[in-house]
């Protein structure tokens, strides 16, 4: 099956998972949520299996650890292992962005985006830290890692990048948004449809990151 078909099925599964949140059918999410990264993994393999670049393994590993994070977070008692799984997934994306060479020159727009990301992380931590309790250290570590992922995506591609580079940067941005909403939902204050916002931005972010990164490799041939 062509990669485009797999990603179409992926988005159908994402819509199904969002529907289970909307109609409050949590039991069904034991099927729909783990299915997402399985489909994205098949898509990534279809897209990059024949590529000889070992860096593709960073993306495969990011999808695998994201899948384990999704599964762990289905069980409240396994929140910390889920957090660690996603932390490792972010580190895999970071590893890919660090591997990329040559890197573009960084202009004023990129520097401003990086500065805004650092400021944003500081504001988020200032709000979440008093509420995080025993999870303060993991929250600090996770915020640092995901902020670094976004900054390094900008450093790797720059805003003058081809479409696949901009896709990866946008994916990193949406991942930050998804994790921020989830963190506020857990530690600060929940709000209506927060679960839908989390899964929508998460699902789109993962597709953008995976497809943007792997199409970058395909265009290096």
Distances (CA, A) of 115 to 8, 50, 91, 94, 147: 36, 38, 21, 18, 11
Between CA 59 and CA 214 the distance in angstroms is: 8
| For residues 187-214, average pLDDT | 93
**pLDDT exceeds 80 at position 219:** yes
- For the ranges 114-118, 188-192, 205-209, which has the lowest average pLDDT? 188-192
Half-sphere exposure of 16 (CA within 13 A, CB side): 16
Domain that holds residue 154: 3-218
- Higher per-residue confidence, 196 vs 220: 196
pLDDT bin (cut points 50, 70, 90) of residue 153 is very high
- What's the number of domains the chain is made of? 1
CA nearest 169: which of 197, 211, 203, 140?
A: 211
Mean pLDDT of the chain: 94
**pLDDT exceeds 80 at position 1:** no
| For residues 112-136, average pLDDT | 93
> Tell me, what's the pLDDT at 188?
82
> Tell me, what's the pLDDT at 221?
57
> Tell me, what's the pLDDT at 208?
98
Phi–psi pair at 46, nearest 5 degrees? -65, -30
Residue 59 tokens read as 């993306």
pLDDT bin (cut points 50, 70, 90) of residue 69 is very high
Q: 11-64: per-residue pLDDT in tens?
A: 999 999 999 999 999 999 999 999 999 999 999 999 998 888 889 999 999 999
């Amino acid at each position: 099956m062509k990669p485009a078909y797999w990603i179409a099925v992926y988005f159908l599964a994402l819509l199904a998972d969002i529907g289970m949140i909307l109609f409050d059918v949590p039991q069904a999410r034991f099927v729909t949520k783990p299915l997402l990264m399985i489909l994205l993994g098949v898509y990534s393999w279809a897209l990059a299996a024949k590529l000889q670049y070992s860096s593709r393994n960073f993306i495969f590993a990011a999808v695998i650890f994201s899948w384990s994070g999704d599964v762990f977070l289905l069980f409240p008692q396994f929140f910390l292992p889920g957090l660690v799984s996603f932390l490792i997934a972010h580190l895999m994306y970071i590893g890919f962005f660090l591997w990329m060479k040559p890197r573009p020159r960084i202009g004023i727009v990129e520097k401003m985006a990086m500065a805004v990301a650092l400021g944003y992380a500081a504001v988020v931590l200032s709000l979440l830290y008093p509420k995080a309790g025993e999870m303060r250290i993991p929250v600090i570590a996770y915020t640092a890692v995901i902020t670094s992922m976004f900054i390094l995506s900008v450093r790797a591609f720059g805003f003058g990048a081809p479409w696949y580079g901009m896709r990866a940067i946008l994916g990193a941005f949406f991942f930050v948004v998804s994790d921020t909403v989830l963190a506020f939902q857990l530690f600060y204050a929940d709000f209506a449809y927060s679960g839908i916002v989390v899964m929508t931005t998460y699902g789109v972010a993962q597709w953008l990151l995976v497809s943007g990164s792997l199409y970058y490799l395909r265009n290096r041939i």
